[in-house]
A and B are shown apart, each in its own frame.
Chain A
């Protein structure tokens, strides 16, 4: 693992630790939850937060197929639940996994975890 990868993986690990998280307000800027599906959102975010651990494990064992598949699923569901940024991050994750670009994967996973934790704490 390169120094850059290690530092990004460190960000990812720290974001998974319990406790207050300082995040940019941009994280919430484009959230638009539909009242028709609002009751589904807490469980959806809880599942995404749990999934972060398995994503990190997949990254650790270079399981690019699992990372690509998870990215694909996030593309499909993120915007529908009111989180268009999640669909974008899913697309980035999927592309980085397809290219086996570990640096891009580490960066995307760190951003992803920052967003998901923040959203879960506010809307979960």
Chain B
């Protein structure tokens, strides 16, 4: 069980304080270390076994771990090996009552950052953890520098808004690990850019990056696409085909729109996540692949689970670390920064990029951008073509952007989303369903009000609620 025993005097409210995970089965030792470490300014989480620690480790991403060697269930060394497998840069300080050379050598050979012999000396613990946390934070800074040096953040990840800075911090934290990541956000927010940034900042960056849009693959071909097939597996399978999981060996596999997988493909995906092995369609031999999985969806997967359309066990396997990409309307001045980045990208070599007049900037910031970054890119491409001078005027923006005072009509929003949707991506039905859900949420489930906002009658709304199984 993970217990947050942080007392009121601790820096628990300070989310920037380094986080230390203490793994020890002795309640009194946990309580003592908790008191000492909070006194030193750390946030502290405690776990009583390796199993419970590993279950929550991916989500909390601590800066350092204090690990007792003698644990029930998984031993300390076994727990250390599992932590190292997923978090190679996370410093682990071993606590041991056994000062025998063999024990210490085993721990250090297994990748422990340092060790302390029990009874623990408070001063030595403070010094050791200070060094460990410093090393951990340097690893995060290194990942950040690598991201910047590699040309990232990509266009859509430009921005200084609190929402974007928080997202970039999370990318820097999770990138060096090997954990599965679930990225959720509206269409056009840049989920693939986030996934790509994680890959580029990881130790797998020199290895394959394989991206699959599950929504673009017909259900009948999903298993073949992901897991490959043998020659003759089905009509038309003239040769052996390596699936995406095999192609991503040693690299990163990005499954976009993972909610669109068929129930059968979901079941196979769950198995491959558990075992890292699978069979090609029509094949008897097991194939192993060393991949890191990043999944994304514009739908809320928790809602999909509740509606019975997505496997709960698969959801928990995917959402080991979940990231929410904020919509553009929640990113304030980032709209202008991203637009400038797009204009710079389009400028001829050596030429000055087009500028945005102050009125244009105001207009852009007051528009909700339902198609998010993708819609903004389209708008800048259009504006840069029609601009009559080196400055983009309000008149150069698309009509829907120029009328921000009134909320855009649903059909305009839908059109914007359609324009921004990827080829082979969401259908009109998807967009309509989303618009209805959104309107109901904003109207606090008042159907008359939601219908009014959508510009449709009450009976039409009821018909569509039935069509999309939204009656409840």
Instruction: Give the residues in chain B near A79, CB-CB below 8 Å.
Output: 119-120
Q: Do the beta carbons of A72 and B28 come within 8 Å of each other?
A: no
What 0/1 readout, one digit per residue, does chain A (61-95) give for beta carbons within 8 Å of chain B? 00000000100110111111100100100010010
Complex CA gap A113/B35 in Å reads: 27
Q: Does A17 contact B (CB under 8 A)?
A: no
Instruction: Give the residues in chain B near A44, CB-CB below 8 Å.
Output: 28, 31
Please pick, from A47, A69, A80, the residue contacting B119 in the complex, using a CB distance under 8 A. Answer: A80
Q: A40-B32, A87-B118 are in contact. Are A72 and B39 (CB under 8 A)?
A: no
Q: Which residues A16-75 have CB closer than 8 A to chain B? A: 34, 36-37, 40, 44, 47, 69, 72-73, 75
Q: Does B452 contact A (CB under 8 A)?
A: no
Instruction: Give the residues in chain A near B95, CB-CB below 8 Å.
Output: 76
Complex CA gap A91/B100 in Å reads: 13
Q: A75-B119, A87-B119 are in contact. Are A81 and B97 (CB under 8 A)?
A: no
Q: A47-B28, A81-B28, A91-B97 are in contact. Are A76 and B35 (CB under 8 A)?
A: no
Interface centre among B26, B31, B119 (most CB of A within 10 A): B119
Complex CA gap A21/B339 in Å reads: 81
What 0/1 readout, one digit per residue, does chain B (425-455) give for beta carbons within 8 Å of chain A? 0000000000000000000000000000000
| Chain B nearest CB, measured from A59 CB (Å) | 20
| Chain A nearest CB, measured from B123 CB (Å) | 12
Q: Residues of A within 8 Å of B, CB-based: how many? A: 20
Instruction: Give the residues in chain A near B31, CB-CB below 8 Å.
Output: 40, 44
What 0/1 readout, one digit per residue, does chain B (9-36) give for beta carbons within 8 Å of chain A? 0000000000000001010110110011
Please pick, from A34, A40, A84, A94, the residue contacting B97 in the complex, using a CB distance under 8 A. Answer: A94
Please pick, from B35, B70, B122, the residue contacting A40 in the complex, using a CB distance under 8 A. Answer: B35
Complex CA gap A87/B32 in Å reads: 14
Complex CA gap A76/B76 in Å reads: 15
Please pick, from B68, B70, B97, B122, the residue contacting A80 in the complex, using a CB distance under 8 A. Answer: B122
Please pick, from B24, B32, B39, B68, the residue contacting A81 in the complex, using a CB distance under 8 A. Answer: B32
| Chain B nearest CB, measured from A90 CB (Å) | 8
Complex CA gap A75/B98 in Å reads: 10
Q: Do the beta carbons of A80 and B120 come within 8 Å of each other?
A: yes
Q: Which residues B15-71 have CB closer than 8 A to chain A? A: 24, 26, 28-29, 31-32, 35-36, 39, 68, 70
Q: Do the beta carbons of B120 and A72 come within 8 Å of each other?
A: no
Q: A84-B119, A87-B119, A91-B97 are in contact. Are A73 and B29 (CB under 8 A)?
A: yes
Q: Do the beta carbons of A37 and B118 come within 8 Å of each other?
A: no
Q: Do the beta carbons of B35 and A75 come within 8 Å of each other?
A: no
Q: A36-B39, A87-B119, A94-B97 are in contact. Are A80 and B26 (CB under 8 A)?
A: no
**B32: nearest residue on chain A (CB-CB)?**
A80
Interface centre among A40, A73, A81 (most CB of B within 10 A): A73
Q: Which residues B113-139 have CB closer than 8 A to chain A? A: 118-120, 122
Instruction: Give the residues in chain B near A73, CB-CB below 8 Å.
Output: 26, 28-29
| Chain A nearest CB, measured from B51 CB (Å) | 18
| Chain B nearest CB, measured from A51 CB (Å) | 10
Complex CA gap A75/B95 in Å reads: 11
| Chain B nearest CB, measured from A82 CB (Å) | 10
Instruction: Give the residues in chain A near B35, CB-CB below 8 Å.
Output: 36-37, 40
Complex CA gap A37/B120 in Å reads: 14
Q: Do the beta carbons of B24 and A76 come within 8 Å of each other?
A: yes
Q: Do the beta carbons of A76 and B26 come within 8 Å of each other?
A: yes
Interface centre among A34, A44, A69, A80 (most CB of B within 10 A): A80
Q: A84-B119, A87-B118, A91-B97 are in contact. Are A76 and B29 (CB under 8 A)?
A: yes
Instruction: Give the residues in chain B near A76, CB-CB below 8 Å.
Output: 24, 26, 29, 68, 95, 97, 118-120
What 0/1 readout, one digit per residue, does chain B (297-326) give for beta carbons within 8 Å of chain A? 000000000000000000000000000000
| Chain A nearest CB, measured from B3 CB (Å) | 15
Complex CA gap A11/B402 in Å reads: 91
**A44: nearest residue on chain B (CB-CB)?**
B28
| Chain B nearest CB, measured from A41 CB (Å) | 10
| Chain B nearest CB, measured from A63 CB (Å) | 15
Instruction: Give the residues in chain A near B122, CB-CB below 8 Å.
Output: 34, 80
What 0/1 readout, one digit per residue, does chain B (91-123) give for beta carbons within 8 Å of chain A? 000010100000000000000000000111010
| Chain A nearest CB, measured from B445 CB (Å) | 49
Instruction: Give the residues in chain B near A91, CB-CB below 8 Å.
Output: 97
**B72: nearest residue on chain A (CB-CB)?**
A69
Instruction: Give the residues in chain B near A72, CB-CB below 8 Å.
Output: 70, 97
In the complex, 27 of the A-B residue pairs with CB atoms within 8 angstroms, ordered by the A residue number, are A34-B122, A36-B35, A37-B35, A40-B32, A40-B35, A44-B31, A47-B28, A72-B70, A73-B26, A73-B28, A73-B29, A75-B97, A75-B118, A76-B26, A76-B29, A76-B97, A76-B118, A77-B28, A77-B32, A78-B119, A79-B119, A79-B120, A80-B29, A80-B120, A84-B119, A87-B119, A94-B97
Q: Which 10 A-B pairs have the closest CB atoms?
A: A79-B119, A77-B28, A76-B118, A73-B26, A87-B119, A75-B97, A80-B32, A76-B29, A77-B29, A75-B118
The interface of chain B, by Cβ under 8 A from chain A, is 24, 26, 28-29, 31-32, 35-36, 39, 68, 70, 95, 97, 118-120, 122
